[in-house]
Amino acid sequence: MSWEVVIGLEIHVQLNTVSKLFSGSKLSTGAEPNTQASLVDLGMPGTLPVVNKEAVRKAALFGLAINADICRHSVFERKNYFYPDLPKGYQTTQLAEPIVGAGIVEIQLESGEKKNVRIHHAHLEEDAGKSLHEDFHGMTGIDLNRAGTPLIEVVTEPDMSNAEEAVAFARKLHAIVTSIGICDGDMSQGNMRFDVNVSIRKPGDELGTRTETKNLNSFRFMEKAIALEVERQIDVLEDGGKIVQETRLYNGDTHTARSMRSKEDANDYRYFPCPDLLPVAITDADLEELKAAMPELPNARKARFIDDYQLSEYDADLLSGSVATATFFEAVSKAGGDAKLAANWVMGEMAARLNAEEKAISDSPVSAEQLGQLIARLKDGTISSKIAKQVFEACWAGEGDPDAIIEAKGLKQMSDSGELEKIVDDIIANNAPQVDDYRNSDDAKKKKKIGFFVGQAMKATQGKANPQQLNQLLQKKLQ
């Protein structure tokens, strides 16, 4: 009897504001420890927080993007606990009245199926600092540069039932926050952090005890960590054991996870409304202004791609998944004059090379204009698709624009039929046994055997023969 998997996510999205949530310090980008921490960030006695309006605006924009209710008077609360990198002894966060209420995110699965994942709420909160355990001889160094960085924590309902759905949701959320420009989406830097709650049960049973797995800094690790945890839970339960509610830490390098703390260690956080901050007021006018400024959302973009470019749902979903990819695709499509080819190249050759070299599309050595030019040459018959791959490689290697490469390497398809005819005649004259063999074969065999002559012709023309033209010519001459 199979197990049913129940997954919910908690996602910390670092807002790309200029300054911190409650102080004027700039957000840290690898600065020397404690150089981007003000009196407020250090929790100095007598200092007070002042909420960053830009962070509030970005959180509300996110709420609108997932069709959520926006709380008109959301309340900051203090979550009290002691930790060395938590300078005030409490984290300023939201609990009872978060800025973003219940919302919906629609995801697309590879099967073509769509699914709604419900968002329970999203709240604004400040990040903690960092504890540095190296270089301090048995002591811990504290870097408060990150302390006070604005986050929204997005909490889903337990609506996902396998790793594919969880990853599809995570990618969609990534697409949303990057599309509306509230987060740079860099998971490797922890700017988007996913915690996965997993439980299993027999179909029809109550929800099982869940565990939370942290530290998933890529979609791939998320997928693997879920599989690992599901497997572990099944093993435990099938061996007659019990799942302990706990927080687990996943290590992507070793593909292992370990228990970090159990529920028994949980603090009583003594939440209460922060008396230093007034409720965050959002007016109708604020919401109207935000709606007017709302950038195109991933699902709207996807619908447009389907309409404008006649892409499949799945292709459209992939290409609309990030602003960078979508922008790149549209530029290629425009420059190349063929959306289908553009989609194929961006998701095929291009994606493969980027993956292989672990590059972001924004760092691609082949620009959208260059790829577009390549596609244009492919489309107008200047080069064959085989040659196109060669040109792409040269372009990737920095040898110039496709046109220049084609010219310099003489890769233009042979379109002069007289020239090609002469080459074909030569091949037929010089390969009498193969010609006889071909002529004595039935149609099915002929189809295979013509390959020999095509190969010879390609060799003679260094691949520049137009494959269609060559085929027609060979068929005619070999009759």
Partner 1 sequence: MSNAMHNKTLTELKAGLAAGDFSSRELTEHFLARIQQHDGELNSFITVTAEQALAQADAADTALAAGNGGLLTGLPIAHKDIFCTEGVRTSCGSKMLDSFIAPYTATVVEKMAAEGAVMLGKTNMDEFAMGSSNETSYYGPVKNPWNLERVPGGSSGGAAACLGARLAPGATGTDTGGSIRQPAALNNITGLKPTYGRVSRWGMIAFASSLDQAGPMAQSAEDCALMLQAMAGHDHRDSTSLNEKVDDYLGALNNDISGLTIGIPEEFFPDTLDGAIADNSRAAIRELEKLGAKVISVSLPSIKLSVPAYYVIAPAEASSNLSRFDGVRFGHRCDDPKDLEDLYKRSRSEGFGDEVKRRILVGAYALSAGYYDAYYRRAQQVRRLIRDDFARAFEKVDVLMGPTAPETAFKLGAKKDDPVSMYMADVFTIGVNLAGLPALSMPTGFINGLPTGTQVIGNYFREGQILNVAHKYQQATDWHKQAPAFGGDQ
**51 lines the binding site for partner 1 (CB under 8 A):** yes
Q: How far is the CB of 142 from partner 1 (least distance, A)?
A: 7
Considering only residues 21-50, where is the footprint of partner 1 by CB under 8 A?
39, 42-50
Q: Identify the CA nearest to 109 among candidates 60, 54, 32, 171.
A: 171
Stretch that binds partner 1, among 210-218, 256-264, 271-279, 444-452 (CB under 8 A): 271-279
Binder of partner 1 out of 110, 272, 425, 476 (CB under 8 A): 272
Among all chains, which residue has been given the structure tokens 């100095």? Answer: 44
Stretch that binds partner 1, among 264-272, 321-329, 331-339, 375-383 (CB under 8 A): 264-272
State which residue, 145 or 217, has the beta carbon closest to partner 1: 145
Whole-angstrom Cα distance, residue 22 to residue 41?
A: 8
State which residue, 38 or 320, has the beta carbon closest to partner 1: 38
State which residue, 82 or 451, has the beta carbon closest to partner 1: 82
Whole-angstrom Cα distance, residue 203 to residue 205?
A: 6
State which residue, 57 or 377, has the beta carbon closest to partner 1: 57
Stretch that binds partner 1, among 58-66, 87-95, 285-293, 383-391 (CB under 8 A): 87-95
**84 lines the binding site for partner 1 (CB under 8 A):** yes
Q: How far is the CB of 290 from partner 1 (least distance, A)?
A: 22
Site string for partner 1, 97-116 (x = CB under 8 A): --------------------
Q: How many residues lie near partner 1 (CB under 8 A)?
A: 29
State which residue, 145 or 373, has the beta carbon closest to partner 1: 145
**130 lines the binding site for partner 1 (CB under 8 A):** no
**89 lines the binding site for partner 1 (CB under 8 A):** yes
Binder of partner 1 out of 271, 314, 396, 452 (CB under 8 A): 271
State which residue, 109 or 277, has the beta carbon closest to partner 1: 277
Whole-angstrom Cα distance, residue 224 to residue 213?
A: 11
Contact predicate 81/308, CB 8 Å: no
Residue 50: count of CB within 10 angstroms of its CB: 12
State which residue, 43 or 400, has the beta carbon closest to partner 1: 43
Considering only residues 137-156, where is the footprint of partner 1 by CB under 8 A?
140, 142
State which residue, 80 or 327, has the beta carbon closest to partner 1: 80
**124 lines the binding site for partner 1 (CB under 8 A):** no
**245 lines the binding site for partner 1 (CB under 8 A):** no
Q: How far is the CB of 17 from partner 1 (least distance, A)?
A: 17
Sorted by sequence, the CB contacts under 8 Å of residue 476 that are 6+ apart come out as none
**88 lines the binding site for partner 1 (CB under 8 A):** yes
Whole-angstrom Cα distance, residue 110 to residue 419?
A: 48
**208 lines the binding site for partner 1 (CB under 8 A):** no
Sorted by sequence, the CB contacts under 8 Å of residue 378 that are 6+ apart come out as 336, 341, 384, 385, 388
**78 lines the binding site for partner 1 (CB under 8 A):** yes
State which residue, 264 or 443, has the beta carbon closest to partner 1: 264
Whole-angstrom Cα distance, residue 311 to residue 249?
A: 40
Question: Using CB under 8 A as the criterion, which residues of the chain lie in contact with partner 1 when the complex forms?
Answer: 39, 42-51, 78, 80, 82, 84, 87-90, 140, 142, 268, 270-272, 275-278
